[in-house]
Amino acid sequence: MTPFALALRELRRRKGVTQRDLAHAIGVSPAYLSALEHGRKGKPSFDLLQRIAGYFNIIWDEADELFMTAEASHPRVVLDTSGLPPAYTALANRLAREIRTLPVDVVEAMETLLDGTRLKG
């Protein structure tokens, strides 16, 4: 499941909307919406995000958060390490091989570490 899928499910739950009702209202098939919510589809288009935000009539801050979550939710990521030192390429490949085996606490620690380096830079 992607971060967007989780956010969309929570939004539907809070608003009391079924997957089928939302799918019909925004002009997609229930099967597509289900695949999107299970992370089997890539990030939704900007147009679809606008239809979702419009359907739920959410405020701009919440819509912006939903859009940013969608941006970070593509289940197949490509990393371009060309031009970087070899250690960067090795790390990217190791992460690709091992990401499914990482415990949640390790992933959270890595996120915290990355957040800290962003604040320093």
What whole-number distance in Å separates Cα of residue 70 and Cα of residue 115? 19
For the chain, the structural domain boundaries read 3-71, 86-120
What is the CATH T-level fold of the domain 3-71, as seen in this structure?
434 Repressor (Amino-terminal Domain) (1.10.260)
What whole-number distance in Å separates Cα of residue 36 and Cα of residue 69? 13
Q: Is the pLDDT of residue 62 over 70?
A: yes
pLDDT at 94: 94
Q: Which amino acid is at 118?
A: R
3-class DSSP assignment, residue 35: helix
Interval 64-107: pLDDT, tens: 999 999 988 877 788 899 999 999 999 999 999 999 999 999 99
